[in-house]
Amino acid sequence: MYGTTTAAVDSTFIIIIAFGFLLFALIIFFTIYFAVRYRRSRNPAPSNIGGHLGLELAFIAASMVLALGMFFYGLTGFKFLKMVPADSLAVHVTARQWSWLFTYDNGRKSTDLVVPQGRNIALTMETVDVIHGFFAPSFRIKQDIVPGMKTYTWFKAVNPGTYDVLCSQYCGQEHSKMLATIYVVAPDVFKKWYNDEDVDIPGLTSE
Protein backbone atom coordinates (compact mmCIF):
# COMPACT_ATOMS: atom_id res chain seq x y z
CA MET A 1 0.00 0.00 0.00
CA TYR A 2 2.54 2.58 1.14
CA GLY A 3 5.69 0.49 0.85
CA THR A 4 7.53 2.09 3.71
CA THR A 5 6.64 3.55 7.09
CA THR A 6 8.17 6.83 5.90
CA ALA A 7 5.72 7.00 2.97
CA ALA A 8 2.78 6.08 5.21
CA VAL A 9 3.47 8.88 7.68
CA ASP A 10 4.50 11.49 5.10
CA SER A 11 1.48 11.02 2.83
CA THR A 12 -0.89 11.24 5.81
CA PHE A 13 0.95 14.30 7.07
CA ILE A 14 0.75 16.01 3.67
CA ILE A 15 -2.98 15.32 3.36
CA ILE A 16 -3.71 16.72 6.82
CA ILE A 17 -1.55 19.79 6.10
CA ALA A 18 -3.39 20.22 2.77
CA PHE A 19 -6.77 20.12 4.55
CA GLY A 20 -5.39 22.65 7.02
CA PHE A 21 -4.34 24.98 4.19
CA LEU A 22 -7.71 24.56 2.50
CA LEU A 23 -9.57 25.55 5.68
CA PHE A 24 -7.14 28.42 6.26
CA ALA A 25 -7.71 29.72 2.72
CA LEU A 26 -11.51 29.48 3.09
CA ILE A 27 -11.49 31.30 6.43
CA ILE A 28 -9.28 34.09 5.10
CA PHE A 29 -11.33 34.36 1.91
CA PHE A 30 -14.66 34.69 3.72
CA THR A 31 -13.23 37.05 6.34
CA ILE A 32 -12.11 39.43 3.60
CA TYR A 33 -15.25 38.86 1.52
CA PHE A 34 -17.65 39.67 4.38
CA ALA A 35 -15.58 42.65 5.52
CA VAL A 36 -15.85 44.13 2.03
CA ARG A 37 -19.39 43.00 1.21
CA TYR A 38 -20.93 44.29 4.46
CA ARG A 39 -18.79 47.40 4.89
CA ARG A 40 -20.40 50.41 6.56
CA SER A 41 -20.67 52.53 3.39
CA ARG A 42 -22.63 49.80 1.65
CA ASN A 43 -24.73 48.74 4.66
CA PRO A 44 -25.29 51.88 6.74
CA ALA A 45 -28.18 50.29 8.69
CA PRO A 46 -27.47 46.94 10.39
CA SER A 47 -29.82 44.22 9.18
CA ASN A 48 -30.99 41.24 11.15
CA ILE A 49 -29.82 38.09 9.37
CA GLY A 50 -31.75 34.93 10.24
CA GLY A 51 -30.70 31.30 10.09
CA HIS A 52 -30.49 29.29 6.89
CA LEU A 53 -31.15 25.61 7.43
CA GLY A 54 -29.72 24.45 4.09
CA LEU A 55 -26.52 26.40 4.56
CA GLU A 56 -26.12 25.16 8.13
CA LEU A 57 -26.64 21.54 7.11
CA ALA A 58 -24.17 21.97 4.24
CA PHE A 59 -21.62 23.43 6.65
CA ILE A 60 -22.04 20.53 9.08
CA ALA A 61 -21.77 17.99 6.25
CA ALA A 62 -18.67 19.61 4.74
CA SER A 63 -16.89 19.84 8.11
CA MET A 64 -17.78 16.23 8.80
CA VAL A 65 -16.37 15.09 5.46
CA LEU A 66 -13.15 17.01 6.10
CA ALA A 67 -12.75 15.70 9.66
CA LEU A 68 -13.61 12.12 8.66
CA GLY A 69 -11.25 12.40 5.69
CA MET A 70 -8.38 13.31 8.02
CA PHE A 71 -9.41 10.52 10.38
CA PHE A 72 -9.55 8.03 7.51
CA TYR A 73 -6.05 8.89 6.29
CA GLY A 74 -4.71 8.86 9.84
CA LEU A 75 -6.26 5.48 10.54
CA THR A 76 -5.02 3.95 7.27
CA GLY A 77 -1.48 5.13 7.95
CA PHE A 78 -1.64 4.00 11.57
CA LYS A 79 -2.88 0.53 10.60
CA PHE A 80 -0.04 0.24 8.10
CA LEU A 81 2.48 1.12 10.83
CA LYS A 82 0.96 -1.49 13.14
CA MET A 83 0.91 -4.34 10.61
CA VAL A 84 4.35 -5.92 10.66
CA PRO A 85 4.99 -7.66 7.30
CA ALA A 86 5.29 -11.44 7.70
CA ASP A 87 8.57 -11.66 5.74
CA SER A 88 10.40 -9.30 8.12
CA LEU A 89 13.81 -9.83 9.59
CA ALA A 90 13.28 -10.07 13.36
CA VAL A 91 15.44 -8.10 15.77
CA HIS A 92 14.90 -7.99 19.51
CA VAL A 93 15.45 -4.61 21.14
CA THR A 94 16.41 -4.27 24.78
CA ALA A 95 16.16 -0.78 26.25
CA ARG A 96 17.97 0.02 29.46
CA GLN A 97 19.33 3.01 31.33
CA TRP A 98 20.94 4.32 29.13
CA SER A 99 21.70 2.36 26.01
CA TRP A 100 20.22 0.09 23.40
CA LEU A 101 20.93 -3.57 22.76
CA PHE A 102 19.89 -5.30 19.54
CA THR A 103 19.76 -9.11 19.54
CA TYR A 104 19.35 -11.11 16.33
CA ASP A 105 17.82 -14.57 15.92
CA ASN A 106 21.23 -16.27 15.71
CA GLY A 107 22.32 -14.70 18.99
CA ARG A 108 24.34 -11.87 17.42
CA LYS A 109 24.25 -8.81 19.66
CA SER A 110 25.06 -5.20 18.90
CA THR A 111 24.60 -1.79 20.51
CA ASP A 112 23.91 -0.37 17.04
CA LEU A 113 21.29 -1.69 14.66
CA VAL A 114 22.70 -3.16 11.45
CA VAL A 115 20.09 -4.00 8.81
CA PRO A 116 20.06 -4.97 5.14
CA GLN A 117 18.82 -2.41 2.65
CA GLY A 118 15.35 -3.00 1.19
CA ARG A 119 14.28 -5.58 3.77
CA ASN A 120 11.42 -5.21 6.24
CA ILE A 121 12.75 -5.15 9.78
CA ALA A 122 10.50 -6.20 12.67
CA LEU A 123 11.49 -4.98 16.12
CA THR A 124 10.11 -6.56 19.29
CA MET A 125 11.04 -4.41 22.22
CA GLU A 126 11.42 -4.81 25.96
CA THR A 127 12.86 -2.73 28.76
CA VAL A 128 14.76 -3.99 31.78
CA ASP A 129 14.04 -0.92 33.89
CA VAL A 130 11.90 2.17 33.16
CA ILE A 131 9.83 3.41 30.22
CA HIS A 132 11.87 4.19 27.12
CA GLY A 133 10.81 5.09 23.59
CA PHE A 134 12.32 3.80 20.36
CA PHE A 135 12.43 6.75 17.98
CA ALA A 136 13.91 6.59 14.48
CA PRO A 137 12.89 9.89 12.86
CA SER A 138 14.15 8.99 9.37
CA PHE A 139 11.72 6.07 9.25
CA ARG A 140 8.98 8.02 11.07
CA ILE A 141 8.64 5.38 13.77
CA LYS A 142 8.28 6.01 17.48
CA GLN A 143 7.13 3.40 19.96
CA ASP A 144 7.17 3.35 23.74
CA ILE A 145 8.83 0.45 25.51
CA VAL A 146 6.96 -0.19 28.74
CA PRO A 147 8.02 -2.38 31.70
CA GLY A 148 6.18 -5.72 31.72
CA MET A 149 5.10 -5.40 28.10
CA LYS A 150 6.41 -6.41 24.70
CA THR A 151 5.87 -3.67 22.17
CA TYR A 152 6.72 -3.75 18.51
CA THR A 153 7.34 -1.65 15.44
CA TRP A 154 8.80 -2.14 11.98
CA PHE A 155 10.44 -0.25 9.14
CA LYS A 156 12.12 -0.68 5.79
CA ALA A 157 15.20 1.28 4.78
CA VAL A 158 15.29 1.91 1.04
CA ASN A 159 18.65 3.70 0.92
CA PRO A 160 21.91 2.64 2.51
CA GLY A 161 23.41 4.98 5.08
CA THR A 162 23.36 5.74 8.77
CA TYR A 163 20.27 6.86 10.64
CA ASP A 164 19.73 8.01 14.22
CA VAL A 165 17.89 6.23 17.00
CA LEU A 166 16.87 8.28 20.02
CA CYS A 167 15.04 7.55 23.24
CA SER A 168 11.78 9.50 23.17
CA GLN A 169 10.79 9.08 26.84
CA TYR A 170 12.64 10.92 29.55
CA CYS A 171 14.25 8.00 31.40
CA GLY A 172 16.68 9.54 33.85
CA GLN A 173 19.91 11.44 34.09
CA GLU A 174 21.55 10.26 30.86
CA HIS A 175 18.39 10.04 28.79
CA SER A 176 19.82 12.43 26.19
CA LYS A 177 22.80 10.14 25.66
CA MET A 178 20.62 7.11 24.98
CA LEU A 179 21.44 7.01 21.28
CA ALA A 180 22.17 4.37 18.68
CA THR A 181 22.78 4.31 14.95
CA ILE A 182 21.00 2.27 12.31
CA TYR A 183 23.51 1.08 9.71
CA VAL A 184 21.70 0.24 6.49
CA VAL A 185 24.03 -1.89 4.36
CA ALA A 186 23.88 -4.00 1.20
CA PRO A 187 22.32 -7.44 1.77
CA ASP A 188 25.61 -9.33 1.17
CA VAL A 189 27.45 -7.07 3.63
CA PHE A 190 24.71 -7.65 6.15
CA LYS A 191 24.91 -11.41 5.66
CA LYS A 192 28.63 -11.38 6.44
CA TRP A 193 28.18 -9.14 9.46
CA TYR A 194 25.28 -11.29 10.69
CA ASN A 195 27.45 -14.41 10.49
CA ASP A 196 30.29 -12.63 12.26
CA GLU A 197 32.55 -12.79 9.23
CA ASP A 198 35.20 -10.20 8.52
CA VAL A 199 33.44 -7.21 7.00
CA ASP A 200 34.00 -3.50 7.20
CA ILE A 201 31.03 -1.28 7.93
CA PRO A 202 32.36 2.31 8.01
CA GLY A 203 31.66 3.97 11.33
CA LEU A 204 30.53 0.84 13.13
CA THR A 205 32.69 0.28 16.18
CA SER A 206 30.41 -0.86 18.95
CA GLU A 207 29.66 -4.52 19.32
Min separation Cβ 103 and Cu ion, Å: 18
Phi, psi of 110 (to 5 degrees): -155, 150
Q: Which of 171, 182, 185, 189 binds Cu ion (CB under 5 A)?
A: 171
Using CB under 5 A, pick the residue from 8, 115, 167, 189 that binds Cu ion. Answer: 167
* Cα 129 to Cα 198: distance, rounded to the nearest angstrom: 34
From residue 114 to residue 133, the character string flagging contacts with Cu ion as x (rule: CB under 5 A) and all else as - is ------------------x-
Separation of alpha carbons 113 and 179, rounded Å = 11
H helical segments located in the chain: 5-37, 53-82, 187-194
- Characterize the bridge pairing of strands 113-116 and 179-185: parallel
CA dist 185 and 167 (Å) reads 23
Shortest distance (Å) from residue 171 CB to Cu ion: 3
Stretch that binds Cu ion, among 32-40, 60-68, 141-149, 177-185 (CB under 5 A): 177-185
Q: How far is the CB of 52 from Cu ion (least distance, A)?
A: 55
Question: Is 178 a residue that touches Cu ion (CB under 5 A)?
Answer: yes
